[in-house]
Amino acid sequence: MKIAIAQLNPTIGDLAGNARQILEAAQTASAAGARLLLTTELSLCGYPPRDLLMQPSFLTCMAETLAHLATDLPADLAVLVGTVLPNPDAVYDGEKPLFNTTALLLDGTVQRYFHKRLLPTYDVFDEDRYFEPGEESSAFELDGVWIGVTICEDLWNDESFWGKRHYEVNPIAELTRQGVDLVLNLSASPYSVGKQHLRENMLRHSATRYGQPILYANQVGGNDDLLFDGCSFGLNRAGELVVRAKAFERDLVFAEFDPAVGELMPLPDAVAPLPDCAEAEIWMALVMGVRDYGRKCGFSKAVLGLSGGIDSALVAAIATAALGPENVLGVLMPSPYSSDHSITDALDLAKNLGIQTQTLPIAPMMQGYDQALSELFAGTEFGIAEENLQSRIRGTLLMAISNKFGHLLISTGNKSEMAVGYCTLYGDMNGGLGAIADVPKTRVYSICRWLNRETPTALDSSLLLKSAALPVIPPHIITKPPSAELKPGQVDQDSLPPYEVLDDILERFVERHEAPEDIVAAGHDAAVVNQVIRLVTRAEFKRKQAAPGLKITDRAFGTGWRMPIASRWLPTVQLPSVPAATGR
């Protein structure tokens, strides 16, 4: 039995467009001799549809689209489609109104439904808000083969892999007891750095433990802040890879199931390679995310501020790879505090990337603000308020360009800055998308160094730069001390710990949830740890007003971050008391 996996990139709510993707994949699969096509979780409506599921007309249209799709599909092909089904018992039994469902389409009709059993409610997931869990794990028979159907989280509850159970039931164990020959999984598993290795190790453990071949179809593409890396794959009963789809691209791949031996058989050249390092992986994810956000939101061009710093340099390179150099505008907005090298660095970068630039000096506007505020600010010292005016002037100019020409304004702040509030509301935080908002500063540097090491051949891909000069990032941008240049001689380390120290503390506190005393025990100064934690807590009101930021880590300041703004909780380390000085 030849089985196809359609690694799809749905647009949320585009029912007709998503159905067309499924149909095109089905026609190609059928022409290649496939008997069964596996698509991704909620492939018909896109994942996650969130509160669109509360609109009755959306649900009605989804059901109609599914019925039409069934009649359009090749008659000889069984197709598993991710969809939503109303729960008829919701009103009477106090249950949730919907099921997260897989529909089996065959012979022009919907043959069966399979409901998702395990509903995640952690991180970015909130499925219990909408869905009722299925009551049983189910299988269907096709040409004498018994095929178990699971949906995403259903395969993430093997207690011998995790060391504990997260849910009461383990669907793959139940399907094994039912005697299925093969387990399929429709998934929409969001990307984070290194997650594919976790998925493959987890399902390899399940395949060998239960003696079950597994085919796993994962969504690809960007939907708002969430990125999906694809990398759909199949494992035989020994846990060996027999197929893997491409990373960060739509794909259609095939596997052969031999009923005589109950096994998935290897095919030549069926296992696509994974990116060879974390920097390559993150780069591809961010390029895909910017491209899809622009495409799905109706933007074809982008604008960003070019400061000559490393953050805007990386964002400009990402935007260029995602949208093409002809569709990216970099705006230089020098102030009296801008160094000459910042301007030349920004222009050199733009030349390397082949993007257009516009220079708008802001000194006259700064003078106008100073004059307007002179009476109110009389008798006060120059400080953060005046520094931030520069950022807000720049943000206003960029928003005007975005508004005038319909460009997507991409903000350039990184995760380290967002974490501690080293950014300006209504200034550099302006934008429709934060391209590197989940990328720590130290990782920004490592990606830029990686980018400069790549060869033109390695960069010649639909997700990478095609014709940039090398090195892509002017070396001086990487080697100079980072600075916001809002006052003479300013560098970031005037206000913050060195980024190597800051990022390690942030990773431990934000992502690993380590207690302050444990962070100190790892080698950090207690006063610095307290300073960073205080800054993280105080900056919550800024983060709530930030543009959506593409998620690449397990703990991003986005959909899955649910901290209160008005809070008095501030974990700190008790500092040693200093004896009072005594005199004689």
Catalytic center residues: 41, 116, 152
230 is in an annotated binding site: no
Q: CB-based burial of residue 366 (10 Å sphere; 0-12 exposed, 13-18 middle, 19+ buried)?
A: middle
Q: CB-based burial of residue 33 (10 Å sphere; 0-12 exposed, 13-18 middle, 19+ buried)?
A: exposed
Q: CB-based burial of residue 96 (10 Å sphere; 0-12 exposed, 13-18 middle, 19+ buried)?
A: middle
Strand order in 408-411's β-sheet? 356-359, 328-332, 302-305, 408-411, 433-434
For 44-88, give the DSSP string. Answer: TT-S--GGGGG-HHHHHHHHHHHHHHHHHS-TT-EEEEEEEEE-T
Q: Alpha-carbon torsion 546, 547, 549, 554, what sign?
A: positive
Q: Which two tokens stand for residue 108?
A: 């022009």
387 is in an annotated binding site: no
Q: Which two tokens stand for residue 322?
A: 């995602």
309 is in an annotated binding site: yes
Pairing type for strands 408-411 and 302-305 reads parallel
310 is in an annotated binding site: yes
In b/e form, how buried is each residue of 220-251, taking b as 16+ CB within 10 angstroms? bbbbbbbbbbbbbbbbbbebeebbbbbbbbeb
Other Cβ atoms less than 10 A from the Cβ of 488: the count is: 8
**CA 312/CA 124 separation, integer angstroms:** 27
Residue keyed to tokens 């908002």:
437
Q: Are 235 and 242 in contact (CB under 8 A)?
A: yes
Which 3-state string (H, E, C) describes 401-417? HHHHHCCEEEECCCHHH
337 is in an annotated binding site: no
CA distances from 71 to 101, 105, 108, 200 (A): 19, 9, 4, 35
Pairing type for strands 233-235 and 214-218 reads antiparallel
123 is in an annotated binding site: no
- Which spans in 378-463 are helix H? 384-405, 415-420, 441-453, 456-459
542 is in an annotated binding site: yes
Collect all residues with Cβ–Cβ distance below 8 Å to 114 and sequence separation of at least 6. 101, 102, 104, 134, 138, 149, 151
The single-letter code of the amino acid at 488 is P
**CA 17/CA 23 separation, integer angstroms:** 10
324 is in an annotated binding site: no
417 is in an annotated binding site: yes
Q: Which two tokens stand for residue 151?
A: 């949906």
Collect all residues with Cβ–Cβ distance below 8 Å to 205 and sequence separation of at least 6. 158, 160, 161, 239
Half-sphere exposure of residue 132, counting CA atoms within 13 Å on the CB side? 17
**CA 342/CA 491 separation, integer angstroms:** 13
Question: Residues at the annotated binding site for ATP?
Answer: 305-312, 412
Question: Residues at the annotated binding site for L-glutamine?
Answer: 122, 189, 195
Question: Residues at the annotated binding site for deamido-NAD(+)?
Answer: 388, 417, 542
Question: Residues at the annotated binding site?
Answer: 122, 189, 195, 305-312, 388, 412, 417, 542
